[in-house]
Structure 1
C-alpha cells in the first residue's frame, strides 16, 4: 500500500494545548505517531491523530489522501478533538487575561488559512478587545480617534450620533415643503413641521436611544452598550442574531455607524406623503401630529437593523387613516379651551 511503502508525506502537527505547529514527514500513520509523540513528549500507547479542521481521525487508509502540509492534531489516549470550534474553546479555557488572551487569539489567526476559521477567529478577537467599561476620553484615547474634541465621554458621543440621525429625518420633513404647489397647503404643512420640531426639541431629538447611561426602555442597548439587530421591517426578530457594542472599541464604533434606524412604514414613500395628503383639505390643527411624530421619530416605527438586514426595497406598509386625524372630541375640546381663553381676555 502507498501509505505503508510510499514516499514521506509532510504534515504540520500540533498538540491540543499548544498552538505551535511542527513540520514532520512520515510514510504512514505509525511513523507519524512515533515521531509526533517524541516531538511533543506524549506517550505512544493510545496516541492518535485527527485533522485540525474538523476532527476526522487519520487512519492508515486515510493517510495517503492527505494533502501535503495538512494540519493535524496529535492526541493522547483520553483526548478528543472536534475541529476549530474545539480550538477556540481551548483558547477561552486557558487562564489568560487582557493582552495575553488577545495575543493568543492573534497567534491562531496569523497561522490560519481557512477563510471560515479566519472569520470566526477575527470576530472572537474583536470581542476580546473589549474596553466598553471605559467611558472617558482620558481612559480610552484610541476609541476617540476621529471624534470631535468636544466629546469627553463615549455616551455623549453616541447620544449626539443618534440625535444627528433624527435631525436628518426632520430635515427631510422640512425639505418636502418644496414639493407642495398650493400656497394654503404649504402654509399648513409649515405649521405642522414646526410643531413636529418643537416636539423633537422637547424630547431632545431622542438621543437617549444610543446612550447607555439612560434607563430602560429609553435606550436601545444594554447597560454595557450592546445593541442587538431587531431584524428587517417584515420580521419579528433578526434571524442572524447580529449584535455589536460600539462602546467596546474604535472598530466597533465605526461598524455600528453602518447600522440603520429603519422606518417600518417608510418615511419618504409613506409617512411624509400621508402627512401632505392629510393637509390637502384640513388644517394642521385637525391632523393627529402625535401619530406622525411617532412614525417619523420614535421606536413606534423605527427598528435598529444591521446593514445586511436593511431591506431597501418598498416596504408596502401604509399609514393608518383612522389615526391620521384628531378625534372629534379632541377638536371640540380645543375649540372650548380657545373660547374660554377669549372670554378671559
Structure 2
C-alpha cells in the first residue's frame, strides 16, 4: 500500500470480492498482517487511515453478503433503500485493529410491517456476520441488531428530537454517541438527511450544549497532586495505564464538544480540529492535535493477544513500557493538557449553569 487509498488490486487486499463470512475473515486477517508490519513505519494518522479503510471495505462487503443470505433465507431483497452507519471509533475513523461493533441502520420512509420484519432480521444477521468476521458485539448494544439503532428515517428524527428534549444523562449519552455517526454503505442520501436532522437540533440551543458539556466533564483523575501519572493499583493491569479512557477519550470528548457547539459536521477528531482551527477562536488546538496523535500511537501499540488470527487488547500501556522515559514524558505532557482543558470546561459549565438557573 503506497498511499492511504485501499489497494484492492492485490489479492490479499481484495476484501470487496469476498463471497462468504469465512472468506471475509481470512482476507481481514491477511490485511491485518500487512498493517501490523506498517505500524510505527508510517505516520500514525496515515496508519489509522489505512486501518479504517480496511474496516470500511469489510463492512461494505458484509452488507452485500448479508443481503444474499437474506434472499437465501426467504426474505427476498430489501423492501426499500437503507443506509448502514457506524458510530464510536469507527464513526470517527479511529478504530483499532481490535475495535468492536458500533453501528446502526437508517431505513427509507415511514415504518410499516414489511420493513420492520425485514430489517429486524437483516440487522440481527448482519451483526452476527460481523461477529463471525471478528468484530465482537458491543457491550453497550450500539448495534444494528438493536431496535434503538435500527429505525426508519422518520423514527430516527423522532428519536433524536426526544433525546434533545430530555436533557438527562442517558438520552444525552445516546446523543453524544450519535454525533460520531458516519455513512459507510447503502443510500448516502439517507445518512445526509439524518445528519441534517441531528445538527439542526443544536442550532441556538444553549441548554442542549450545556447538557452535552455536563456529560463531557466526567473524567477520572489520571495525575496526582504532584503531577505524577496514576497507574492501576490492583487487578490484571496493576502498574499499567489505561490509555483509552485516561487520555484518548478525554481528548475526543473535548474536541467533540467544541465541534457540536460550533456546528462542525465532521466526525473525525482530526478533521474536527482542522475546521475548528480555521475559525481562529480557540487556543491549544495544535497542542490538542499533537497529544491526540500521541494517544493514537500509544493506543495502537498497547499489548495485544491473537486468537484465531484476530487481535484483542485491553488498551492498557504495560508497566514495563511506562519505564521508557520518552513515552512517560509524552504521556505526562498529554495528561497535563487534558487536566488543564478539563478544568477550563468545568469553569465553563459552572458559568453556563448560573446563566440558565
- TM-score, normalised to structure 1's length? 0.26
More helix by share: 2
TM-score scaled by structure 2?
0.26
Q: Which has the larger radius of gyration?
A: 1
